[in-house]
Structure 1
């Protein structure tokens, strides 16, 4: 997002933080309702255009949104969406993107309140690795001809009773309404939201063998000094790397694996 939309999303996150600071607010319910509103806005082109029309006053749009949603969702959800539509948006689609991000962020807050934020991060990461390692599973979850009910049922069979309800809801939402994103991109964006909640970055660490607790602490400490923030390690053991460690943070890769050095030597010889 750029310009006005970026500012509107930032204001929406601040409002969400303020709402969920109140212990009486059910963040998980808020997330579910925001997810449903995302689906509504994604379907109804004319509605999102009305709610982002720059020729209408923010108050007018907020009142329209409140009249539409009152009695259908909780008052906190009405307040949050009304605040969103008061803002100016660079494009109508940005409102949908923002509502979806706030739905995911509310799930993160719900997990944090329950003391389960680490579990949520880990489950999203692990599910992503499972999907990446199974072409058949990925194809089933992303099959364009499959109904949303069938995809939701598949997610339920895979994660139901084995993962947090918030994890199941996030993955189900992503699978049934990907909105142009790959499954991997969506899971990565959710994990980043969870990391941002605690002002830390996520590092994907690939090693040939499991790291000891001491090695994890030293690596995390070194990366924290390098990036100036706390670093969460998501560790993937892959025997193909032979030895050493490969670290990926966003688009940046630090590759110290033996397989990488061998590949470099092979390319040099072939060149």
Structure 2
């Protein structure tokens, strides 16, 4: 989604919280996606509730407590924490909250696909389905028929993709046609494809340092690693006073020790500055 001003800041912070959660092996990203999608649907229907949760005149903690009371026991604790963080934030428009929740749900589903090694397939299937819909006016009309219920449109997606595409692809497309939220089908599929591409390009670096890094050092190291690997880098940070050379970076199976690796020499120099 394209967000501006306060909404953009809130979305960036929420993405970081989601990344931190889904990087943990203890969090079921697929289940989290389902919970976030359910909250998205709720707030899309309940306009008055959405306005209360995004009202800048209301105290941030009061809004978070309200969200917790409404959602507690209905969705996972991780989903409640994410939603609580979202409603604590300021939003340029109440709809931006729902758009952001929807993106987080889709991202969590794509993360689950990434963990299972299926993300490339999902990205390809989304693209191919978009091409099929664009070239088949009858199919497009059926999938966007406002006279049919969302369930009927979703059932059609299951018939089309069930057993032929990855479950993640089926879920993403089913949610899109069930609750289009005013978007064109092609526009929604394009957004999903872009989100999948962004997820595929993202890498995770586990960084262990002898002392905690400052925010400036984190930024410099992240930029240096992104340049080194040619991909956006998320840093998982740990502190170990005994780490050799003062820093150790692990990206996938590659472990780079700060005292001997020329490849991060520049990053180490920047961190010292």
Residue 199 of structure 1: how far off its partner (Å): 3.2
Match of 1:58 among 57, 60, 72: 60
| CA distance in structure 2 between the aligned counterparts of 1:17 and 1:90, rounded to whole angstroms | 23
Please list the CA deviations of residues 226-263 of structure 1 after superposition, one character each: whole Å capped at 9, or x if unmatched.
xx967xxxxxxxxxxxxxxxxxxxxxxxxxxxxxxxxx
Q: How far, CA to CA, are the matches of 2:106 and 2:10 in structure 1?
A: 17
**Post-superposition shift, 1:198?**
3.3
Partner of residue 180, structure 2: 178
- After TM superposition, the score normalised by the length of structure 2 is 0.72
Helix, strand or coil at the partner of 2:55: coil
Kindly tell me the number of residue pairs found equivalent between the two proteins.
Answer: 203
In the TM superposition, what is the alpha-carbon distance from 1:37 to its structure 2 partner?
A: 0.8
Q: Indicate the residue corresponding to 1:132 in structure 2.
A: 134
Q: Which residue of 2 aligns with 1:85?
A: 87
Q: Distance in 2 between matches of 1:166 and 1:57?
A: 37
Give me the whole-angstrom Cα distance separating, in 1, the residues matched to 2:119 and 2:168.
10
Q: CA offset at residue 152 of structure 1?
A: 1.0
Residue 236 of structure 1 is matched in structure 2 by none
> Structure 1 residue aligned with 2:74, among 72, 75, 86?
72
What are the within-5 Å matches in structure 2 for residues 133-148 of structure 1? Answer: 133-148=135-150
What is the CA–CA distance in structure 1 between the aligned matches of 2:171 and 2:103, rounded to whole Å?
14
TM-score scaled to structure 1, two decimals?
0.73
Distance 1:33 1:56 in 2: 25
Give the match's secondary structure for 1:198: helix
The separation in 2 between residues aligned to 1:154 and 1:198, in whole angstroms, is 28
State whether structure 2 residue 105 is matched by structure 1 residue 103. Answer: yes
Mapped to 2, the partners of 1:175 and 1:162 lie a distance apart of 18
* Counterpart-to-counterpart distance in 2, 1:229 and 1:145: 47
> 1:173-229 CA distances to partner (integer Å, 9 max, x unpaired)?
1101111111111111111111112338xxxxxxxxxxxxxxxxxxxxxxxxxxx96
Report the secondary structure of 2:125's partner residue.
helix
Instruction: Please tell me whether the aligned partners of residues 119 and 200 of structure 2 are also in contact (alpha carbons under 8 angstroms).
Output: no
Q: Which of the numbers 115, 118, 122 marks the counterpart of 2:117?
A: 115
C-alpha RMSD of the superposition = 1.4
Alignment partner of 1:196 out of 195, 198, 202: 198
CA–CA separation in structure 2 for the residues paired with 1:45 and 1:26: 29
Q: Which runs of 5+ in 1 are unaligned?
A: 201-227, 231-271
Q: Which runs of 4+ in 1 moved over 6 A?
A: none
CA distance in 2: counterparts of 1:39 and 1:26, whole angstroms: 20
Unpaired segments ≥5 residues, structure 2? 203-228, 232-273
* 1:237-256 matched pairs, under 5 angstroms: none
Match of 1:27 in 2: 29
